[in-house]
Structure 1
Amino acid sequence: MAMVAAALGRVSGWKEREVYEAGMYALKHAVVVRFGQRIMTANPLQSAHASSTLVIAGDVVRCHIEEGLDGTDDAPSRPKDTSKAKKPASAPYSKKSASSKTKNPLFEKRSRSFGIGGDIQPNRDLTRFVKWPQYVRLQRQRVILNQRLKVPPAIAQFSNTLDKNTATNLFTLLNKYRPESKQEKKARLDAAAKDVADGKKADPKADGKKPLFVKYGLNHVVALIEAKKAQLVVIADDVDPIELVVYLPALCRKFGVPYVIVKGKARLGTLVHKKTAAVAAIADVRSEDSRELANLVSAAKANYLDKFEDARRHWGGGLRGNKSSAMLRKRAAKPGAAAPVAPAAEA
């Protein structure tokens, strides 16, 4: 304190003894002593071994006060605090009062080690670690490319497939007119030959009308459309290459033949006992199924023939990914930027 008093005396013009007494008074009574623009403060509520800070002309000078003294003999001593130290408040809930669950001794804790050579690891979903076959990767990449690239209207119309309920009614009707399989044809011919051998029939084709079956085969169906004999044409949406059937909607519209686009060439193939089929057609049905066919024809006209001009003007694809869409939204949010944001692809 004596060194600080001497420094304050030099800068304030006070005598060293006066500054010293003022500082000790500040320590005792927790007041602020001003020396012109210089301030000396102290906090007596601190412990005996505390630091008092004096601010002198912008510089901080620290002095250590031990039991109220600054190291000089002439400084008055501060009485020691003989009061007992305050005890901290006890916790509201002690450990003893906390409710402890009684452990069942029959159940033992068996900790497992999942290190090398340890316990078996738990089941995890490792889908993202799978190295998928090439055909899976290709078909996924093809889907992404079809979403990103702009698709011409003639090809984009094949993504507009028939709804599920109407497609169910359609295939219910088509299954009634499935062509006979090789085994059924062989059994029919054997029976007809047996009848001819027994003399029951002179000609197996004499009394039989042409059977009512679903017509399939691209060239056959095109001939039926051009002859206006097809009452309803069913086209698959995933024919590869698409050029095989891309002209069929325009051909059907030209000749006024109703057509529908359904999902899955394999589903059409199952209908005609093949692996796949690009197109099928109904030429004629029995009288009991004529009403159901009329409902399907009206639905085909409403969904496809009447909307053909709209389908010719709508391009497909052009969908951006999530990252690209987020980047464009962030760029458009900046002031002075009004860039159009393309729609994001559905996940």
Structure 2
Amino acid sequence: MMGPVLAACLLIILSTAWISQANEALCKKDGGVCSCNNNKNSVDCSNKKLTAIPINIPTDTENLKLDYNSLSSLPNTAFHNLNKLTFLDLGYNELPTLSAGVFDHLVNLDKLYLNKNQLKSLPPKIFDSLTKLTWLTLSENQLQSLPHGVFDSLTKLTYLSLQNNQLPSVPEEAFDSLEKLKMLQLQENPWDCSCRDILYLRNWIREKQGNVSNIEAAECAVGNKAVLEITEKDAASDCVSPNTTTAIPIGTMTPASVIYDDIHEIKVPQENFQKFLGYQEPDHLPTQPQCLMSISGYLGLMMSLMLTSAAILYVFHFLKKA
């Protein structure tokens, strides 16, 4: 009777190994792309020179670090299987824009870092699904304007950083929904205090002064005058806001990133090859170590399946003889 018992034990061990293999294909200690802490559901892909996001990130991941890489675009579906994420760091990459629905499935996200990229604008409603977000970092980008209502769904936000961008003003009612806000970083922007558009920001700063930290640091681009100190006479010009246009209504504009993604998804051969290797983004082939990692992961899964099947047959054989 020892034969069936040993076989059953082997079956349990191999089944466990097969399940963990599926979740840890990208987290091997012997040179895998990312490192994982399964106890904390954390995946660290920081500083790996990645040009695309691996598709085999475990679906139960809660903390994902992708900072200090070379990401220049994010497909719409980049995070669609990661709805348990509470922490996402995309800082220190090369993102010039964001796809309209890239964050739509991250309904449990608490902290989002987008600092130190090359963002010049944000798609309308980009943050609408992030209703649990408390921390948002957009500092050190090239934002020239904000869409109307872009922060309206972030009613739990306590920290927002917009410093070191190219913002001359913010839309009317831009911060009115942020009732929980405790700190707002506005410094190092070229606030245009000669335009009437700036008066909303001035009034909001005066109202929230003492309740929201650091907002007094916002200064006019000319004259080194604090925004909260400007008068109606200072802001007498009827300037045209940079986030409005008479040529094309902003609500009907299609983000360039969406068009870009759609065009490249038509190129089936290269994309299918990359998906087989474990990568989403169609314009970048993975490096040799990444290819080896992905292939070895699949081979490991196949081997586990074969061994598991053999163990099952072994158990049945001894049970039948018994």
TM-score, structure 1 as length reference: 0.20
Bigger Rg, which one: 1
Q: Which structure has the highest helix share of the two?
A: 1
Please state which structure has a larger fraction of its residues in strand. Answer: 1
TM-score (ref. length: structure 2):
0.21
